[in-house]
């Protein structure tokens, strides 16, 4: 019986992978951000044969967020150079591959927290069904950058677990610093990963040095963007106290609306929140790393919404699903451990 369940789960996961590939094939360029930001800048690199400063400074292309870090468009442009031309329809097939990598690492992570094979596969299946992830994997949002930030978060959680188990401490810190540096050059919010260093079981000095090194590419890019006068379409404001209060209500409202959106999350959020309330769990890694990292990173996203020049009523609904999927490795692992606790030993081993 368990064997049948195992194969059924594998088939269902495979179906989602094929579904993502089919999306990348049938709707390769269906997102305004894909063609208006990420692939557009890759074209800038390819057409300029170097750093595309003039194109970045051209206000016609302000929608492309010219001040964003450029690593992803640059990497895509390298593919264009290797292919000998711009081939956007081919590039989006990277996204189902990233999806497979995410699912594989999640499975390894769940096995690492002593989860049985069936239960681990069930959670991988549940995760692969979340619509914002399927969208990033190829169903109409292929070509964006959020899945790579998700991948970075997932890798950091996986490596942090190894560090907590006293395995590969030095290598672990080195890898986490490297991932933070990369993530900060994919999207601005990639730098939020630096928070995870605070909660690693390492000497203060090591964490401080790791933090400073992780910040270097982020600081260099921001200094360069400012020095080169690359225009920015987003900036921070300091609202009045009354405005802050109204913004907090608006942000909370749209976050809750997203969480109860059955199309995207099914019943995930209500079940997760009920589980937190009903199930008591003792897990050192969860309490000392996963939950604190999740809460502080979430607070940083909240502050971005709070102090952004954009109106939260427009900004939050258009981005919150992608933000939640970026930080999903933290809350999904939390969810998985709660459910594992609720199940009998027979199921969890």
Binding site for another protein (CB under 8 A): 12, 15-16, 18-19, 22, 26-27, 29-32, 35-36, 59-63, 122, 125-126, 129, 140, 233, 266-268, 270-271, 274-275, 278-279, 310-311, 314-315, 318, 338-339, 342-343
Please count the residues of the chain: 349
Which alpha helices (H) appear in 139-231, and where do they start and end?
146-164, 169-184, 204-227
CA angle 133, 139, 142 (to 5 degrees): 80
**Is 21 or 159 the residue whose CB approaches another protein more closely?**
21
3-state helix vs strand vs coil in the chain, percent to 5: 80, 0, 20
67/224 Cα distance (integer angstroms): 10
CB of 17 to another protein, least distance (A): 11
CB of 178 to another protein, least distance (A): 34
Inter-helix orientation angle 146-164/94-112, to 10°? 20
CB of 126 to another protein, least distance (A): 6
**Is 68 or 268 the residue whose CB approaches another protein more closely?**
268
**Is 47 or 342 the residue whose CB approaches another protein more closely?**
342
CB of 212 to another protein, least distance (A): 35
Buried b (16+ CB within 10 A) or exposed e, 180-207: bbbbbbbbbbbbbbbbbbebbebeeeeb
The one-character DSSP state at 308 is B
**Is 35 or 213 the residue whose CB approaches another protein more closely?**
35
**Is 36 or 211 the residue whose CB approaches another protein more closely?**
36
Helix or strand or coil: residue 228?
Answer: coil
CB of 109 to another protein, least distance (A): 19
Tell me the two tokens of residue 233. Answer: 């379409």
Cβ-defined contacts of 270-278 (< 8 Å, 24+): 271/335, 272/331, 272/334, 272/335, 272/338, 275/335, 275/338, 275/339, 275/342, 276/334, 276/338, 278/342
CB of 270 to another protein, least distance (A): 8
CB of 28 to another protein, least distance (A): 9
Helix or strand or coil: residue 288?
Answer: helix
**Is 13 or 155 the residue whose CB approaches another protein more closely?**
13
């Amino acid at each position: 019986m368990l064997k049948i369940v195992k194969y059924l789960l594998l088939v269902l996961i495979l179906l989602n992978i094929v579904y993502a590939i089919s999306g990348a094939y049938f709707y390769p360029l269906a997102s305004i951000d894909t063609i208006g930001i990420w692939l557009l800048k890759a074209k800038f690199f390819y057409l300029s044969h170097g750093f595309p400063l003039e194109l970045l400074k051209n206000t016609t292309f302000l929608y492309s967020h010219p001040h964003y870090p450029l690593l992803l468009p640059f990497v895509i442009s390298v593919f264009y150079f290797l292919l000998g031309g711009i081939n956007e329809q081919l590039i989006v097939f990277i996204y189902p591959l990233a999806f497979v990598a995410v699912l594989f690492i999640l499975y390894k992570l769940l096995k690492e927290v002593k989860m049985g094979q069936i239960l681990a596969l069930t959670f991988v299946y549940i995760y692969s069904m979340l619509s914002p992830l399927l969208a990033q994997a190829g169903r109409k949002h292929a070509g964006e950058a959020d899945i790579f930030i998700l991948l970075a978060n997932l890798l950091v959680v996986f490596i942090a677990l190894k560090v907590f188990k006293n395995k590969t401490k030095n290598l672990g810190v080195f890898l986490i610093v490297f991932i933070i540096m990369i993530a900060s050059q994919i999207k601005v919010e990639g730098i939020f990963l630096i928070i995870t260093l605070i909660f690693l079981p390492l000497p203060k000095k090591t964490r401080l040095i790791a933090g400073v090194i992780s910040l270097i590419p982020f600081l260099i890019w921001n200094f360069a963007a400012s020095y080169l006068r690359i225009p920015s379409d987003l900036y921070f404001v300091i609202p009045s106290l009354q405005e802050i209060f109204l913004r907090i209500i608006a942000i909370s409202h749209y976050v809750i609306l997203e969480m109860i959106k059955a199309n995207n999350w099914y019943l995930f959020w209500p079940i997760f929140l009920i589980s937190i309330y009903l199930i008591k769990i003792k897990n050192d890694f969860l309490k000392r790393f996963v939950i604190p990292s999740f809460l502080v990173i979430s607070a940083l996203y909240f502050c971005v919404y709070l102090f952004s020049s954009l109106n939260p009523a427009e900004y939050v609904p258009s981005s919150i699903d992608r933000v939640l999927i970026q930080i999903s490795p933290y809350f999904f692992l939390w969810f998985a451990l709660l459910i594992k606790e609720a199940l009998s030993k027979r199921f969890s081993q």
